[in-house]
Chains A and B, each alone.
Chain A
Amino acid sequence: MSTGQIEAASERPKVSPLYDPRVRSIAFQVILCLVIAFVVYEAAANAVENLRRQNIATGLGFWNNAAGFPISQSLIDYSEQYSTYGQAFWVGLLNTLLVAVIGIVLATMLGFTMGVARLSKNVLVAGVARWYVEIVRNLPLLLQLLFWYNAVLKALPDVRESAKLPFSIFLNNRGLYAPRPDPQPAFDFVWLALAIGVVVTVAFRYWARKRQEKTGQQAPVGWVTLAMIVGLPLVTYLALGRPLNFDIPQATRFNIGGGMVLQPEFLALLFGLTIYTGAFITEVVRAGILAVSHGQTEAAFALGLRPNQTTKLIIIPQAMRVIIPPLTSQYLNLTKNSSLAVFVGYPDLANVFTGTVLNQTGQAIEVVGITMLVYLTISLGTSFAMNIYNSRKALVER
């Protein structure tokens, strides 16, 4: 067999370049690039011209200028007089992360509870879960936030008539007053004990899994985890003589002193985000559980597993594979939706930066650009981690 024949057969037929797919493809892409380059160039030229005309400074020089505006809630030191726009940025970012992290934890708990309830045989339980999902998912988040803020939290009695809850918690239209934990220096050892507990647990679980794969013997993983993560810090805490005091809020005649205050803005945003995202997580969990076919349960029973073993070893691991990717995108949605803080006045990144800082500096391109970049980093970082997770957990087919 001569190679010449094959070469002759694979040679492209002579066509006019006008109809050659490769020529067409390259021409199209060149035109596309030129059009986009032209649009970008025009936009940049217009921006330079408009900025010059309106006398707006450019660049990131404003970052170290004094901010001169107060922020109602801050996790780091921030003062109206001395702090810079850069510090305001960090305050806003931390506030965004704070509400997002707490919201994610609460929404996950709510969503998993409701997702299981949605599949309950008890019609009342299933009905409540179903109508929760139907109502919450069909109303705009903004409407829910305004409702929680204006119609619930702002409508609470004022300070003098605070509602008194157990554990010295007070609720009024200025927020929720709760005891503030005040750790003594010795409390650091409790943190240390917790860290040791976590490390030991991880190592023990790894060892137990290896041993079970090799010998089939099971280790009491659950009890060891409980003892290490809860027991060890607790014993340390008691042994050191309870090095944790509480600053308890005291109701005086006109005000409440001491303790810590959760502002109504924060609470409204947290409630709104938790309840809204919780409804979406409910549906994710329900779909995930339903995705595990009934044959899996039957096969597990046939092998002699008990119902709770079936749930733990067969159903949950397979349901989690379906649940986790959409769950992550719900977490991202919650983080992005926390930018609705603007509407209730919670000082998150969008509120502090695209709100106040943008108004004061007028540097729209830089300020909006930085804000977008932060959200983009969070989103892309999470999806990147998700892709790695997915490729590890995906079903390996023959």
Chain B
Amino acid sequence: MTATDASSFPTPRTDPGPAYVSRATLQPSPPPASTVGPWAWMRTHLFTGPVNIALTIVIALLLAWAIPPLLRFLVIDAIWTGQNREACIYTPDRTVVGACWAFVTDRAAYFTYGSYPMAERWRVNVFFALLAIGVVWLLNLKAPRRDIGGIYFFVVLPIVSYILLVGAPWLGLRTVETNLWGGILVTIVCSAVGIVVSLPLGIILALGRRSTMPAAKLFSVIFIEFVRGVPLITVLFMASVMLPLFVPYEFQPDKLLRALIGIALFAAAYMAEVVRAGLQALPRGQYEGAMAMGLSYWQMMGLVILPQALKITIPNIVNTYIGLFKDTTLVVIVGIFDFLKTIEAARIDPTWGAPTVSATGYVYAAVFYFICCYLMSSYARGVEARLARADKR
């Protein structure tokens, strides 16, 4: 006990009272030794009862069995430099081969840009930078002028990105066919298009589903339930093999565009349900209040309902995007080289045919997806905690 602790107790009385009254205030005695300190912590958190003791021992043994070999593989025995498979194969003086990171560093550019022409790759970098600005602007709840940020993200960015990535001969940007795109670029493009299209479309569908107009409600319900009832693969198949049949013969959409349409429609249906949950969470008084003020339907939605509904839906919207981001891996099925497909392609390429190359490729992909998804879910959790604090007041 320090002096500052003691000073918080009332000062002892000054007049000498009866002798049997204690003059000094007693300090609280310390907690029993068995409830504090690391030993007690271990008792309550690791060794409560026979079952827990057994579980602790089994798990500790499992971790001790699994982690050292994993570390050996990933770091100690790993090979960091090399130009081709020679670096990572077994040789008489190298009988243990760990992760082949040389493979990842050698093919990193391919994993990022696919076959996008070397000379034009700066355009992809500019696109990544512009996208990063938009994402930070929109997601940082304290950023200034987020309304302009919204216009930038949903209107300016798509147009600029299209010009930048596809090319515009009248601006001196060479046209780059989409079949050369690949890697992280395609993964990002697919998820970004999914995000940009699905949010507005999802809001319209959600409003349609809650509308009093039977026709609007019917079409929204049919679309949402249909898309949510089938796997993404069949939607991609539909976009890839049925869509070309439904448009005029002279006007065949290109392969990436077909996949993007499939993903955007799929994401929109899920987004619609997320937005609808937000709309339902608002008390009726908000609608009635807005109507009593004489606002029209669109004024009511735009000024009163949607701002509140979307705010409480942000965590769910982000969680939907995590799903969408993971689902973009399925575009392989229609022959598009997304990030995972570039890894699959590079892993079976004989130039890098070595025993641990496949595992290394998968670890690299896992790290990439994990970091992206973990950041998104941490953000969603942060916003959720912030909203919970705001609600408590």
Contact = CB atoms under 8 A, between A and B. Distances in A.
Interface stretch (B40-48, B87-95, B307-315): B40-48
A375 B369 contact: no
A183 to B, nearest CB: 36
A124 B329 contact: no
Interface stretch (A226-234, A255-263, A301-309, A364-372): A364-372
Contact of A354 (B233, B326, B332): B233
A21 B233 CA distance: 42
Interface in B91-124: none
A340 to B, nearest CB: 7
B56 A124 contact: yes
B46 A123 contact: yes
A146 interface: yes
A354 B333 CA distance: 11
19 contacts: A28-B213, A43-B247, A46-B247, A120-B52, A122-B45, A124-B56, A137-B373, A139-B373, A140-B329, A140-B369, A150-B358, A336-B230, A342-B233, A342-B333, A364-B245, A368-B234, A368-B237, A376-B229, A380-B225
A25 B366 CA distance: 51
Q: Describe B's contact surface by its main secondary structure.
A: helix
B234 A350 contact: yes
Contacts of A124: 46, 55-56, 59-60
Contacts of A42: 246
Given A143-B362, A368-B238, A125 B59 contact: yes
B231 A135 contact: no
A125 B57 CA distance: 10
A151 B326 CA distance: 20
Interface string B23-48: 00000000000000000000011101
Contacts of A120: 52
Contacts of B48: 121-122
A147 interface: yes
- Chain B, interface size category, equals 35 or more
Contacts of A140: 326-327, 329, 340, 369
Interface in A4-37: 25, 28-29, 32-33, 36
A196 interface: no
- In order of increasing CB-CB distance, the 6 nearest A-B pairs are A379-B229, A138-B373, A29-B215, A43-B246, A364-B241, A140-B326
A379 B228 contact: yes
Interface of B: 44-46, 48, 52, 55-56, 59-60, 212-216, 219, 225-226, 228-234, 237-238, 241-242, 244-249, 322, 326-327, 329-330, 332-333, 340, 344, 358-359, 362, 365-366, 369-370, 373-374, 377
Nearest to A358: B241
Nearest to B44: A121
Given A124-B56, A380-B229, A354 B362 contact: no
Most A-side CB within 10 Å, residue of B55, B60, B212: B55
Given A142-B330, A143-B340, A372 B52 contact: no
A221 B40 CA distance: 41
A50 B366 CA distance: 42
A68 B128 CA distance: 49
Nearest to B330: A142
B385 to A, nearest CB: 16
Contacts of A214: none
